[in-house]
Structure 1
Amino acid sequence: MSKIAVVGGGWAGLAAAVAATEQGHALTLIEIAPQLGGRARSIAGADGEPTLDNGQHILIGAYRESLALMRRVGVDPAQALQRLPLRLRYPDHEGLALPPGEPQWSFVRGVLAHRHWPLTSRLRLLATALRWRLGGFDCAASLSVAQLCASLPRIVKEELVEPLCVAALNTPAERASARVFLRVLGDALFGGAGGSDLLLPRRPLSALLAEPAGDWLRAQGAEIRLGSRAGALQAENGAWRLDGERFDKLILACPAGEAARLAADIAPAWAAQARALRFEPIVTVYLHSAGSTLPAPMLALRESAAAPAQFAFDLGQLGQHAGLFAFVISGAAPWVERGLAETGEAVLAQAMRELGWARPPRVLRVLAEKRATFACTPGLQRPAALIAPGLWAAGDHVAGPYPATLEGAVRSGLAAAAGLGQIG
């Protein structure tokens, strides 16, 4: 049995910790924050306000490793998540909606049935999707999503490509990697039955994985240190010393900057690559309006210079807080620069223009995750999982096929844990 440390208690760190514990290792999980969950956590409300998530996260049916991890720590995804077929409902009309069935034919049927788009636009989308599939959902690494989809009709780009791109990659289409975008589309739309289904949390994010995983780890004898920042890391005779404590092997599942700091003297090239990553913010604006509902649990919105939000969620319809709504701004750097107060007012005005309300909504809270995801740009070289013998990195920023998603984080954590038995 090896003594293992996992630095970082987000979804990547939790996945690594659970897998390492299942392998029989003596595990110590070190997390700088006072709670587990990383960027997918809940925040206690003040002055009687409800508990809010630091951002509105969703999963999709293709996130098989994330769903399996939830089950392993005692969470039933069928109870914790509301599963809905992919549906991009707009305030004034239905967007693309996929019926149940075999994935490729479900996509064909959904596109052909979408009467809001001209028939020529629907046929061009299907022809383009067929070319993508025949090409193995791959393309030149240098292509952006905007370049990949340049020949598609404008309405298809505005109502399908751009919303899906910013939702999945948190990077605008003109700067987003087409190769990564295609990988997500391939897995979601053609990877298996239910892969494109939306899985919307019915519970606060911390209750979705972080708290159950923490309880599970403690019950297995793992040690969890909250509010503890990892300091100095040194190699020592085939093992590692972290702040003077000896560990056989380590997994750095902390943010890229923290991992780079810890590994700077051990693997300078790896640390430089991790430090070179650039990040995109996400802003979530919570509005409250007693007695109000949206036309669907999740709405797609038209983004513009005066309308920041791309999606809105009715948390009452998700079994959380009636009258509470989360408006999400992905790729939110311009709005962060303008300030959170102005951003909240802009979302409020957008909501008032586009949606009907039983009572005028008010801004409850504006939350910004300023380094929510790495900027998923064409040709991006992400740091490798193996830093040095016996030292791995995990996190959605680590090299892999997925963008910065919960599934990407979980897969990287599992991959790092799988490496524990391969070296040393």
Structure 2
Amino acid sequence: MSVRLAVVGGGWAGLAAAVEAVSLGAAVTLFEMAPTLGGRARSLPAGPTPGDHALDNGQHILIGAYADTLALMRRVGANPDELLLRMPLRLRYPDRETLRLPPGPPALAFLRGVLGCGAWAWGDRLRLLVASTGWTMRGFRCDPASTVADLCADLPRDVRDDLIDPLCVAALNTPAAQASAQVFLRVLKDALFTGPGSADLLLPRQGLSALLPDPARAWLLQHGATVRTGRVQQLAATGRGWAVDGEAFDLVVLASSLGEAARLTRDLAPAWSAVAGAFEFQPIVTIYLESVGSALPAPMVALRESATEPAQFAFDLGQLGQQPGLFSLVVSGAGPWIAQGLDATGEAARAQAMRRLAWATPPRIVRVLSEKRATFACTPNLARPQASIAPGLMAAGDYLAGPYPATLEGAVRSGLAAARSALQQSGRPAPHRGAVDGQKRR
């Protein structure tokens, strides 16, 4: 008889865990509290009014270094080459081009990109190369208590404004003055120096649900898994395993949000629950604009935030093959703006876009969306919970202890690892992944 495994949470971590567990021969039931899968990276249904757009709950960027995410997409039948627009890392502002990485071996591409950045003075380029050489020689490690602002304090202002600050807030969703330098260096290592194409930007050509949630759900159902929606009320240990709302399972992978994970483990594992419940969060706000006949200079344009201009990036969804004339502005690390209200944030971002970008017709706000707990605040020396909660109970999520910030790749990797570890603990080794060969399990 197959090992019965429950996955609680249907975000990208939970989907990865469920697919991996099915591939290893387990009988999987996936529980998701929301009506649709995908967690914080999913598509929302179109509104009731004719002409309403189907929007994502936020704009996401993948990069070429997301090897496990891209492999998982392919495993469930989603073709990244068709669903994602791959383009070299390019930070293009409305008024000037800054760093742009050419193809080739990563170290050489970075060297050529920095030396070719005419927006920076020669001395500034050399100082960045010296600093990055030092990071490399130290194995991309630094004082764990350092912030990104500390790490880069000696870099020229233009380099910090044009490169460091936008990369930090995009990758860690935490301002440089608060963000962990150690985590930032790990992101730079994997993105810029791992292999050819690792720093490439992968921009969704379709809604986020088409990238993984929808094809993963179809794959799971095809291979005999069960998918249920509705909030799990109780997780309990039994003499022979675990019970999810009274239903018996041998193993559980807890892949829910931090708040739900802390709630469900409060009595089972108080120490683990306390760590999970102590996180601070950073919000992200996405402002959707519509301007008929308009187009940005590129599919993605960097913007400079200020006390009056909140957005750091603008995306032309028409150039990405989605809705012509539809644009998204992203405000990461949006805590101060959330405090002013979504209406004020949306209007400030629209005014910023009006000043900084050219429009054929005045842009109007379609919708302002916020994820108030989009990511944890990625600060130095942050205590993060371990993956193992109790025998037969594993956690999965981008918040777990590890070297990465809250990213889709971090979520997927944790889900894959949780499924493998849980099955190894079961005492009944699952068959090799080849047990699932495209035919429905019986």
| Structure 1 partner of 2:417 | 415
Residue in 1 aligned with 2:22?
21
Which amino acid counterpart does residue 338 of structure 2 have in structure 1? V
- Kindly provide the CA deviation profile for residues 368-415 of structure 1, in whole angstroms up to 9, marking residues without a partner as x: 000000000000010000000000110111112110000000000011
Cα distance in 2 for partners of 1:138, 1:283 equals 31
Secondary structure of the residue aligned to 2:196 is coil
1:197-256 C-alpha deviation (Å, 9 max, x unpaired)? 000000100111100000000000100002x11111111124011111110000000011
SS across alignment from 1:42: coil
How far apart, CA to CA, are the structure 2 residues paired with 1:230 and 1:392? Answer: 16
Q: Which string of whole-angstrom CA distances, capped at 9 and with x for unpartnered residues, describes residues 174-209 of structure 1? A: 000000000000000001110000000001001111
**Which amino acid in the other structure matches residue 283 of structure 1?**
V
Amino acid of the structure 2 residue aligned with 1:2: V
**Matched pairs, number:** 423
Is 1:313–2:347 an aligned residue pair? no
Residue 43 of structure 1 aligns with which residue? 44
C-alpha distance after superposition, 1:246-276 (max 9, x if no partner): 1000000001111111111111100000001
1:238 & 1:386 partners in 2: Cα distance?
Answer: 18
Establish whether residue 180 from structure 1 lines up as the match of residue 207 from structure 2: no
1:102 matched residue in structure 2: 105
TM-score (norm 1): 0.99
1:288 lines up with 2:290 in the alignment: yes
Partner of 1:297: 299
Secondary structure at the counterpart of residue 422 of structure 1: helix
Instruction: In structure 1, list runs of 5 or more residues that go unmatched.
Output: none
Deviations 1:338-360 (A, max 9, x none): 01111111011000100110101
Rounded to whole Å, the distance in 2 between the matches of 1:420 and 1:302 is: 45
Q: How does 1:359-370 map to 2 (within 5 A)?
A: 359-370=361-372
1:228-377 matched pairs, under 5 angstroms: 228-377=230-379
2:146 corresponding residue in structure 1: 143
- Return the offset for 1:422: 2.0
d(CA) in 2 for partners of 1:101, 1:238 = 54
Alignment-derived partner of residue 59 in structure 1: 62
1:421: how far off?
A: 2.4
Residues in 1 aligned to 2:240 and 2:184: alpha-carbon distance in whole angstroms: 40
Work out the CA distance in 2 between the residues paired with 1:134 and 1:116: 27
Conserved 8 A contact 2:253-2:422:
no
Residue identity in the other structure for 1:32: M
Q: Post-superposition, which runs of at least 4 consecutive aligned residues in structure 1 deviate over 4 A?
A: none
The alignment yields a C-alpha RMSD, in angstroms, of 0.6
**Aligned match of 1:167:** 170
Letter in 2 for 1:221: G
How many angstroms apart in 2 are the aligned matches of 1:312 and 1:234? 46
Taking the aligned partners of 1:397 and 1:377, their CA distance within structure 2 comes to 12
Q: Which residue of 2 aligns with 1:212?
A: 215
State the one-letter code of the partner of 2:14. Answer: G
Partner of 1:191: 194
The residue type paired with residue 170 of structure 2 is: A
Corresponding residue for residue 382 of structure 1: 384
Q: Output the amino acid matched with 2:279.
A: L
Distance 1:112 1:49 in 2: 46
Once structures 1 and 2 are overlaid, which stretch shifts more, 320-329 or 412-421?
412-421
Question: Deviations 1:290-333 (Å, cap 9, x if unpaired)?
Answer: 11000000000000011000000000000000000000000001
User: More displaced, 40-49 or 316-325?
Assistant: 40-49
Taking the aligned partners of 1:243 and 1:108, their CA distance within structure 2 comes to: 56
Corresponding residue SS for 2:304? coil
TM-score (norm 2): 0.95
For 1:202, the equivalent position in structure 2 comes to: 205
1:34 corresponds to: 35
* Distance across 2 between alignment mates of 1:283 and 1:421: 38
Farther-moved stretch of structure 1 (43-52 vs 269-278): 43-52
What is the one-letter code of the residue matched to 1:248?
Answer: D
Q: Which residue of 2 aligns with 1:155?
A: 158
- 3-state secondary structure, aligned to 2:339: helix
Alignment partners' CA distance in 2, 1:80 and 1:191? 23
For 2:398, the equivalent position in structure 1 comes to 396
SS in structure 2 of the partner of residue 287 of structure 1:
strand
CA distance in 2, matches of 1:25, 1:335: 45
What's 1:120 paired with?
123
For residue 78 of structure 1, what is the aligned residue in structure 2?
Answer: 81
For the residue of structure 2 that corresponds to 1:43, the secondary structure is coil
Q: Distance in 1 between matches of 2:92 and 2:278?
A: 38
| CA distance in 1: counterparts of 2:322 and 2:98, whole angstroms | 25
Counterpart for residue 133 of structure 2: 130
- Stretches of structure 2 that go unaligned for 5 or more consecutive residues are 427-442
| AA matched with 1:7 | V
SS in 2 for 1:109: helix
**Distance in 2 (alpha carbons) for counterparts of 1:300 and 1:290:** 21
